[in-house]
Amino acid sequence: MYTLAVGLLANIYLLALYALALLGLLVVFNYLYENLRSPLLILKELTLAVFRGDEYRSLVKRFGKWAVVTGSTDGIGKHYALELAKRGFNVVLVARNLCKLEQTAAEITSVHNIEVKCIQTDFSDKRGKVIYEELFAKLEGLEIGVLVNNVGMMSEYPEKVHSIPEEVLWNMVHVNVASVTMMCRKMIPIMLKQGKGAIVNVGSSTDTQPTANGAVYVASKKYIRYLTNALQLELSSTNLTIQLLSPFFVVTKMNNYSRTVMDGGFFFPNVEKYTAFAVNMLGKTPETTGYWKHGIQVAFVGLLPLRLRAIFTRMISTDIKNDYLQRQKKRQL
């Protein structure tokens, strides 16, 4: 009887060990799949490019002549537009400030022999949906090869939802969420008719956990991730390319509140370097941080449990907020 009980226990123990090993294997497989899928796809595309003709290698031939970039008078949008111009695309700049639009257009045409169109649009315009009718009326007749839904905003500094001015939150939802939704809604039928085209939606790798003091911004970026992933599934049988570009921190004016980011560093590239890498990823992978060091960051962050990540980010964002407010106070003295 005693030996029978011991044998049974030993078998249960062995079974539990096998179950744990299997669980471990599944977790490791899932982790490797999530983190190595993009690098492997990029490698595959680079290898295939050697055998494919010019028709495929040239982004203009593959997708179409014009690229539309929203939020393209500064930061990532402006430099993404410059990189596309370098690859031969004519560019449509869409942003709110006419003077900055004209300056950016002049900057691009002074370096690249392409056409540039400017469309002044404020994505927080209280008139709502009508701005998209007006924008698309101005795009009529152009072969749009690439749409970059880059426009985005956050609050002046990390802050709790109930302390951010209502107006800022309202604008954030319209600029970050409504714009990408409506731009995709209107552009996809046009690209389907053309039989080709690429849409790049700019999210953020900060969306890997809910973020206290950045709640609405990060939630809007999670929306962009899921929207883009779902569009990829909806359009998988078409010739359209839908890409999620989710950077970590890049040195742009959006991060003016953080000295650490604005000082640059190993994980904080300047915007020129970042966009040069990011545009190279276009057409190679459905999802990318755009920059290999950001890929490493995401892989490390993914090792921690979600709850722990959320607590860490709350600590970091609170520190950044306090540092920013202290500096503001000193400036006012």
Ligand X SMILES: NC(=O)c1ccc[n+]([C@@H]2O[C@H](COP(=O)([O-])OP(=O)(O)OC[C@H]3O[C@@H](n4cnc5c(N)ncnc54)[C@H](OP(=O)(O)O)[C@@H]3O)[C@@H](O)[C@H]2O)c1
Which member of 80, 132, 157, 217 is catalytic? Answer: 217
Closer of 175 and 216 to ligand X (Cβ): 175
Of the two residues 150 and 317, which places its CB atom closer to ligand X in the complex?
150
- SS3 of the chain: the string is CHHHHHHHHHHHHHHHHHHHHHHHHHHHHHHHHHHHHHHHHHHHHHHHHHHCCHHHHCHHHHHCCEEEEECCCCHHHHHHHHHHHHCCCEEEEEECCHHHHHHHHHHHHHHCCCCEEEEECCCCCCCCCHHHHHHHHHHCCCCEEEEEECCCCCCCCCCCHHHCCHHHHHHHHHHHHHHHHHHHHHHHHHHHHHCCEEEEEECCHHHHCCCCCCHHHHHHHHHHHHHHHHHHHHCCCCCEEEEEECCCCCECHHHCCCHHHHCCECCECEHHHHHHHHHHCCCCCCEECCCHHHHHHHHHHCCCCHHHHHHHHHHHHHHHHHHHHHHHHHHHC
Binding site for ligand X (CB under 6 A): 71-77, 95-97, 100, 121-124, 150-153, 175, 202, 204, 247, 249-250, 252-255
Separation between Cα atoms, residue 119 and residue 96, nearest integer Å: 8
Distance of closest approach, residue 286 Cβ to ligand X, in angstroms: 17
Output 96 or 138, the one with its CB closest to ligand X.
96
Report, in Å, the least distance between residue 19 CB and ligand X.
Answer: 40
**Which of these, 199, 174, 179, lies nearest to 188 by C-alpha position?**
199
CB of 304 to ligand X, least distance (A): 20
| Nearest to ligand X of 62, 80 (CB atom) | 80
Please say which residue, 121 or 285, places its beta carbon nearer to ligand X. Answer: 121
CB of 170 to ligand X, least distance (A): 11
Q: Check if 56 is active-site.
A: no
Taking the least distance from each CB to ligand X, the nearer of 60 and 84 is 84
Q: How far is the CB of 118 from ligand X (least distance, A)?
A: 12
User: Catalytic site residues?
Assistant: 217
